[in-house]
Each structure stands twice: as C-alpha cells, then as structure tokens.
Chains A and B, each alone.
Chain A
Amino acid sequence: MKFVCIECDEPMKFGAAGDIDEGSLPVTFRCPSCDWGFTMLTNPQETQLVRTLGVKIGGATVPAEPMGMMREFLAGGHTAMPTGSSEGSGATAGKCPFAAVVDQASES
C-alpha cells in the first residue's frame, strides 16, 4: 500500500505508529514536500493480517526470534513454548511485531 499527496503528487512517508487500541493501529504518514499528514486506522483484521505476515510497519528494527509468530499467537500453548537464550535480540523481540515501532514512538 502506498500513499500519494494529491497536492504535491509526492509519495507520503511513514511518520509514526501509535498504540494498538481495540485491535486498531494508528499509523501516521506525512508528505515530505508540504508536511500535510494523515493517520490511517486499521481495523482489527487488517492489524492481525499485517502482524501475521511477520513484517513491521515502519521497518524491522530487531531480528525476529525463532518461532516468534508461534510464540506470540498460539493461544494456550505458551507453557509448551521452547526456551533458551535469546542472545542478540532486543527487549521487544518475540513480542508483537508492532512492539518495536510502538517502543520507538514512545521513546521519541
């Protein structure tokens, strides 16, 4: 999905992602020429679809942990999840794929 500023005919740039609220993720985009912006609000199914694709809005900042999707989304299976060291991964690795983006947003 790509967005174009209708005034400048410029591709919009990712700005920030907010907290997920009732399954909806707010993602802000801005025009690099005129700074006009808008926020896209995903519905819960769209949010889930992006999460299950294994990608992060705004770009991946930390490498995914092994079996990260299964560890995150398998209901009731958490007690059976594999354990071990997680060298080289950040505090947000293995959590929601949006977590890193949300963390970044809260830090900035």
Chain B
Amino acid sequence: MAKRYRDIVGDGGSDFVGQLTGLSDKLKQRMAGIKHKVAIMSGKGGVGKSTVTVNLASALASLGLSVGVLDADIYGPSLAQMLGVRGQHLDMDKNGVKPPLSHSGIKVMSMDFFLPESKTPVVWDGPQQDSFSWKGTMEMQALREFLTDTCWGELDYLLIDLPPGTNQFGTLVDLLGQPDGTLVVSIPTAVSRLVVGRSITMITQVLKSRILGVVENMASYYCLGCEDERPLFGNEENADYGETPLLAGVPFDPRLAQAADRGIPFVESHPETPSSKAFLTLAADLVGLFEEKTQNLKIPIEEGTS
C-alpha cells in the first residue's frame, strides 16, 4: 500500500514544522516577561479603540505600572502619533528592536515607525496579481514580528490595539494563544451595539476567549460651556451586551481629539476632567479584575498545599 501523508516522518529536509515551532518558541520567550496581555478590539470601526488604548495605557502608567502598547492596525497605524513618538528612529541589535518611549514611559511599537513619510501607505513587495493568496500571511507575519522582535522587557501590561472587526483578533489568538483579557469598545448607538454584539459572540463562543467587559466611548458629551455632561446620542440608557459587563462609559470631550493630535494622552494633559477620570477608574478596575483573577487562581493552590 502506498505511503500516506501521516506515514512519512519529516518533510524531506526543510523541516517546516520545526522552523515554525522555532518562531512560535521565540514569541513565547518574548512574551514571558509580560504579566498581562490585553487585547482592545471592536467589531465596529470609528468607536475610539485607539483613544481608549492610549488613555488606558497612560492611566495604567500613572498607577506606577510598566506598560507597552502594540498598534496591531497594520494598515491604519495611529498610536505613534497619539503618544507623541511619531518619527522616532528605531534602534536594533541582535535581540530585537527597542520600542520608543512616550513622555510617560509607555513602550510603543507600530507600523508607523517603518514608513518613511506621513503619506506613505503600507504596500508589500510581491506579485500583485492574486495577491490575496499571500497578503493575509504577510499581515500575520508583521504582527508576529511586532510581538516577537520588539524588546518589550518586563511589562505589567501590554495593550494590543486591534483594527476593526474580528479577523485580526483571530490571528492574534493563533499567534499568542488566548490573551489574558479583552476589552471591547463600543458607542451608545443601536448600530454599534448590534455589530459589537456579534463580535462578542465571535470572541466568546467561536474563539473561546475571555472578555473583561465593554467600554462605551462617547457615552455622553462633556460641555465645555456649562461644564456638565449631556447626552450625545440619546441612547445611553439602553446598553445591553448580554452577559458581558459594561465596565466604563467615557464622556466625549472635544479636547480628547486635540490631545491625540498633539501626541499627549488626554489623561496626562487633563487628568481632572470626567473623561480622564473614567479612564483612571477603568485602569483601577482592570487592575482589580486581574488581582481578583490571580487570587482566584491562588486559592485552590493554597488550600491544596496547606
């Protein structure tokens, strides 16, 4: 009987499985120094994932925690601009690339650093005909290199800012295994809640990942004139994300966008505003959630060993 695929050990000399395992092992080694890897995603575009990422990172850093952010939006990178490190030169040695540091010491890696000019798009060299056959793999490899080849060092939190949709989340799980937690960003509109609800189902039921909760951005409008919060979309009260808790509602403040344009997280430039306080509370709650998780993991071990 002729040999079948599984009858043959190895692949004739290339050892592709061994090479891919080696890449995976390098990634695991790099991630070993990071306590909590948190994905920030949304099924919906334009809801403020990067705004949440930048200001949550800044809020965590203000608690004395070491924080890194990875801009996993390969084709639309924005975190370098929002954290004031755009245009910084990357230094590399045999161990990897040193991530630029924001004003408050947040380590940043983004495709932005690899593009020579502000209007340079991300274009891959390769056969352009039928490029769909390899571009997905290229995008996965770019994400792998960001994770593996960045000298993250020891971090309390690595926040991974994903592009809209669930596709890149699946890629992240393929590369990394399950993140320690996921924050889903939404806004208080029926459309956003519909689309985000689908992405929550995808993450929890198909990809079997743990969602920490939903952050509703633009949950209200902070009026600079009357210094009070007002409804923005008029649908604030009807948040329903099933079993996924609503962790925070962040008021919209026009200065949030201005701070992002200037490269200074709003939490740092305006710490006393309602929006910043929402991010600071979210950061404290996030830390609490992970402490609670750690305690829950410790209890049976302690009981079993006592």
Contacts and interface: CB of A to CB of B under 8 A. Distances in A.
A58 B89 CA distance: 35
A57 B11 CA distance: 10
B97 A55 contact: no
Contacts of A70: 114, 142, 145
Instruction: Report which residue of B125, B142, B144 has the largest number of chain A beta carbons within 10 angstroms of its beta carbon.
Output: B125
Contact of B96 (A23, A57, A66): A66
Contacts of B133: 45, 48-49
Given A52-B134, A76-B123, A4 B113 contact: no
A66 B134 contact: no
Contact of A53 (B22, B130, B141, B142): B141
Contacts of A83: 89-92
A47 B15 CA distance: 17
B304 interface: no
A95 interface: no
- Interface band, chain A: 35 or more
A89 B138 contact: no
B300 interface: no
A53 B13 contact: no
Contacts of A49: 133-134, 137
A36 interface: no
Nearest to B4: A4
Interface string B199-225: 000000000000000000000000000
B306 interface: no
A45 B113 CA distance: 28
Contacts of B19: 54-56, 59-60
Given A59-B15, A73-B124, A79 B116 contact: yes
Instruction: Report which residue of A55, A76, A77 has the largest number of chain B beta carbons within 10 angstroms of its beta carbon.
Output: A77
B2 interface: yes
B57 to A, nearest CB: 22
Contacts of A67: 92, 97, 114, 145, 149
B295 interface: no
Interface string B82-93: 000000011111
B64 interface: no
A56 B134 contact: no
A46 B262 CA distance: 44
Given A74-B122, A77-B120, A82-B91, A55 B13 contact: no
B94 A86 contact: yes
Contacts of A102: none
A54 B144 contact: yes
Interface of A: 1-4, 6, 9, 11-14, 23, 29, 44-45, 47-49, 51-60, 65-70, 72-89
28 contacts: A9-B2, A44-B127, A44-B129, A45-B129, A45-B130, A45-B131, A48-B126, A52-B126, A52-B141, A53-B141, A54-B23, A55-B14, A57-B14, A59-B19, A66-B149, A69-B141, A69-B145, A70-B142, A72-B125, A73-B124, A73-B138, A74-B125, A77-B115, A77-B120, A80-B113, A80-B116, A82-B92, A84-B93
Q: 6 nearest interchain CB pairs?
A: A14-B13, A82-B90, A84-B92, A66-B149, A44-B127, A82-B92
